[in-house]
Structure 1
Amino acid sequence: MDLRQLRHFLALARHLNFTRAAEAACITQSAFSRSIQGLESELGGPLVERGSRGVLLTAKGEALRVRASRLLDEASNLRDEMAAEQPSATSSRLSFGVGPLVAARLVPEALAVFVGDFAHTALDVRVGKPSELLELLDEGEISFLVADLRHMDIGTRYLVKPLRFRRFGLVCRSGHPLLQQTKPHFRQLMDYPRVSAMLPLELRGLLQEHWSERGPALNLETQHNDLLPTLMAGSDSIGVLQLEVIDSLTRSGEFQRLRCCDEPALLRDGGACFVIVQRADQLLSPQARSMIETLEQIDEPARAQPHGNALPCAS
């Protein structure tokens, strides 16, 4: 039994639905079910009753819910108390990792708040692939990382805090030829250059399936998000970006959201599952804990942007 399994069980006790609980924990439903089954096996009996009307806690499950809540609270308090005992310094350093998608908006906003509170802290922000950042975390090079969960193999030696799910859409410059049509088809986008930040694996596979007939599905997939607005503004390139990034671009009037009449459902419903990951055996500095709290505070008030429905195609 580990703390991660207890967190999964509490998510199930709260939602009483395996699908919603797995989404809240930011893992696949099959992995979530295995976690609960492993806990039941270790504790010697069923914790929930599965039926057509949903999930109910057994007597053993209700007893575990009370004790698990207390245990997780005590574990959190212990980490905070131990970290508070570390000697402070007038100057310090904070190193953490950031996946390319997270670097587009969430982390810059959190850094703007953080530097006001820790003016004497040197920052080392490593932007890279989630799998590479996980290696840096294991080696002690960074205190924590923020990235898309589904690009990493997370074991029980980590603590994982889920953030809000990010959805994606299409964007282009305001004078783009496709905007002259009221109902463009998704395959028409193959006639124009296509660019994106590093995409979730399932979205990259979707674009490969639909757009790779005459060349690469994407002309450019970059870790450097700041390249894309200038590139799209000076060409007929179409961007595949997070909706919150698209919203910030369209507010300037220079760009417009591009909607297709037959937009694939996966493009509308798929996305990135951002999480904060730290090692379970590593105490965080006050600076690291403050940065994580800032990331959570900035992420929490935001609401997932409505993606709307695809337009009907012309017959």
Structure 2
Amino acid sequence: MDYWNFNLRHLGAHAIVARAGSISAAARIIGLTQPAITEALARLEGRLGLGLFERIPSGMSPTEAGRLLAGRAEAALAQIGSPRVTMAQLRALLAVAESGGYAGASLATGLAEPSLHRAVRDLSVALRRTLVERRGRSVALTAGGRRTVRAFRLARAELAAALSELDALRGRESGRIAVGAMPLSRARLLPSAIAAFHRAHPGVTVAIVEGSHAELIEPLRDGELDLLVGALRAPEPGGDVAQQPLFDDHPIVVSRAGHPLTRAKTPGIAALARYPWTIAAPGTPLRAQWERMFRESGVALPEVPVECGSVMTIRQVLLESDFLTLLSRDQVAVELEAGWLVKLCDAPPGLKRTIGITTRAGWRPTAAQQAFADALKRCAGTL
């Protein structure tokens, strides 16, 4: 089953019956007739192919599948925030937002443009806010539209998690884990965790999205990514985000083999400052560590003609020049082993980056998502 096939009203009825313990009690709460609720539950069970309730003398008791679905449904409906929203409207707004307009949304969904226009218009009326506005030939989200899209994406993530959990009850794993990979995680930690996770969970897809923290944090907040792996921020970037440390990384100063400074046994900070550097942009943990390295030694910051967070690009710059850089040993392990690059010296004691997992605050991972996070923790323990 695809999550777009869920009926939001049926999900709402299911969640209320699970909480109230009987169809009659649920009918009083939501103002529907008992036959209407009974039909909604029957259709939902028919679509899922799973029993969601057992009849007991006192009313209705949710099965394990019913409890799982009720929890995810309540979370999704809380994000949506209105009983007047339909799944067709939710899908239409997300398609328009993610495709940049009605024509792209039509291509992405296979739905006719007039149907999409009508769904978004009806949604605006239901929510009593303007969601999109014309800007020339294009369509843009209003501020209210952006807030609504974020909430709908988080609701969609809950529904996708529900289907993954229900599949697990049937004995088959499914689903997709979307991971935001910041630079340091890509060298050893993330590949090792993916390999270990895939051996144990071959039916679950792991999608890796590479980027900086600034590029990945909003997709995480939107529910497009499940977790980020990489250098943690201090302080945490907002109360809606939670960080979990895995290990501390101690960077090293790196140059090409044959660099003039390789003739010195351990070059001092003043000698390092005489050469140009390629380093991550200001605002990143590594750049802050690099600046601290010189300032605490009372040495003026050297020139940084090339600001770069790509290890591949940095490597090539180093190989073709006398540039220096500050990186994790893991990030250039292959180049060091091959002898293309060399470690000039360690960074001063106390300079470190804390590497860890970033999630949304209150994130409830599926069993597969938790298994992936556990694989990251185990692999971090071997570094």
Q: 1:103 maps to what in 2? A: 186
Name the TM-score, length of structure 2 as normaliser. Answer: 0.48
The CA distance in 1 between the partners of 2:373 and 2:212, in whole Å, is 19
1:236 to 300, 316, 322: 322
Q: 1:164 maps to what in 2? A: 247
Tell which has more relative contact order, 1 or 2 (C-alpha 8 A, sep 6+). Answer: 1
More helix by share: 2
- Once the two structures are TM-superposed, the CA of residue 283 in structure 1 deviates from its matched residue by 2.2
Is 1:138 matched up with 2:218?
Answer: no
Counterpart residue identity of residue 234, structure 1: E
The CA distance in 1 between the partners of 2:259 and 2:377, in whole Å, is 37
**Is the alpha carbon distance of 1:226 and 1:118 closer, same or farther for their aligned partners in structure 2, counting shifts above 3 Å?**
farther
Q: How does 1:149-188 map to 2 (within 5 A)?
A: 149-150=232-233, 153-188=236-271
Tell me if the contact between 1:202 and 1:270 (Cα under 8 Å) persists in the aligned partners: no
1:87 to 167, 188, 192: 167
Gaps of 5+ in 2: 1-70, 73-161
The CA distance in 2 between the partners of 1:231 and 1:276, in whole Å, is 30
Q: How does 1:2-41 map to 2 (within 5 A)?
A: none
Tell me if the contact between 2:228 and 2:359 (Cα under 8 Å) persists in the aligned partners: yes
**Is the alpha carbon distance of 1:106 and 1:222 closer, same or farther for their aligned partners in structure 2, counting shifts above 3 Å?**
farther
- Once the two structures are TM-superposed, the CA of residue 208 in structure 1 deviates from its matched residue by 7.3
1:259 to 315, 322, 345: 345
The CA distance in 2 between the partners of 1:144 and 1:185, in whole Å, is 39
Is 1:271 matched up with 2:357?
Answer: no
1:288 to 341, 352, 369: 369
Secondary structure (helix, strand or coil) at the match of 1:235 reads coil
Superposition RMSD in Å: 3.3
Tell me if the contact between 2:173 and 2:201 (Cα under 8 Å) persists in the aligned partners: no
- Once the two structures are TM-superposed, the CA of residue 141 in structure 1 deviates from its matched residue by 1.0
Q: 2:379 maps to what in 1? A: 298
What do residues 184-228 of structure 1 show as CA deviations (whole Å, max 9, x unaligned)? 332333443322356515324336754546xx3x23332322223
Name the TM-score, length of structure 1 as normaliser. Answer: 0.57
**Is the alpha carbon distance of 1:136 and 1:167 closer, same or farther for their aligned partners in structure 2, counting shifts above 3 Å?**
same
- Kindly tell me the number of residue pairs found equivalent between the two proteins: 215
What do residues 150-169 of structure 1 show as CA deviations (whole Å, max 9, x unaligned)? 25634555443211111111
- Once the two structures are TM-superposed, the CA of residue 274 in structure 1 deviates from its matched residue by 1.6
What do residues 48-83 of structure 1 show as CA deviations (whole Å, max 9, x unaligned)? xxxxxxxxxxxxxxxxxxxxxxxxxxxxxx99xx99
Counterpart residue identity of residue 281, structure 1: G
**Is the alpha carbon distance of 1:273 and 1:92 closer, same or farther for their aligned partners in structure 2, counting shifts above 3 Å?**
same
The CA distance in 2 between the partners of 1:112 and 1:227, in whole Å, is 26
- Once the two structures are TM-superposed, the CA of residue 273 in structure 1 deviates from its matched residue by 1.2
Secondary structure (helix, strand or coil) at the match of 2:318 reads helix
What do residues 75-94 of structure 1 show as CA deviations (whole Å, max 9, x unaligned)? xxx99xx9985434665322
Tell me if the contact between 1:157 and 1:279 (Cα under 8 Å) persists in the aligned partners: yes
The CA distance in 2 between the partners of 1:97 and 1:152, in whole Å, is 20
Secondary structure (helix, strand or coil) at the match of 2:270 reads helix
The CA distance in 2 between the partners of 1:107 and 1:220, in whole Å, is 27
**Is the alpha carbon distance of 1:106 and 1:197 closer, same or farther for their aligned partners in structure 2, counting shifts above 3 Å?**
farther
The CA distance in 2 between the partners of 1:258 and 1:92, in whole Å, is 45
Is 1:245 matched up with 2:331?
Answer: yes
The CA distance in 1 between the partners of 2:193 and 2:237, in whole Å, is 24
- Once the two structures are TM-superposed, the CA of residue 175 in structure 1 deviates from its matched residue by 1.4
Secondary structure (helix, strand or coil) at the match of 1:150 reads coil
Counterpart residue identity of residue 181, structure 2: V
Tell me if the contact between 1:166 and 1:271 (Cα under 8 Å) persists in the aligned partners: yes
The CA distance in 2 between the partners of 1:86 and 1:160, in whole Å, is 28
**Is the alpha carbon distance of 1:294 and 1:90 closer, same or farther for their aligned partners in structure 2, counting shifts above 3 Å?**
closer
Tell me if the contact between 1:172 and 1:255 (Cα under 8 Å) persists in the aligned partners: yes
- Once the two structures are TM-superposed, the CA of residue 257 in structure 1 deviates from its matched residue by 1.3
Secondary structure (helix, strand or coil) at the match of 1:87 reads helix
Q: Higher Cα Rg: structure 1 or 2?
A: 2
**Is the alpha carbon distance of 1:113 and 1:220 closer, same or farther for their aligned partners in structure 2, counting shifts above 3 Å?**
farther
Secondary structure (helix, strand or coil) at the match of 1:251 reads helix
The CA distance in 2 between the partners of 1:84 and 1:118, in whole Å, is 13
Counterpart residue identity of residue 382, structure 2: P
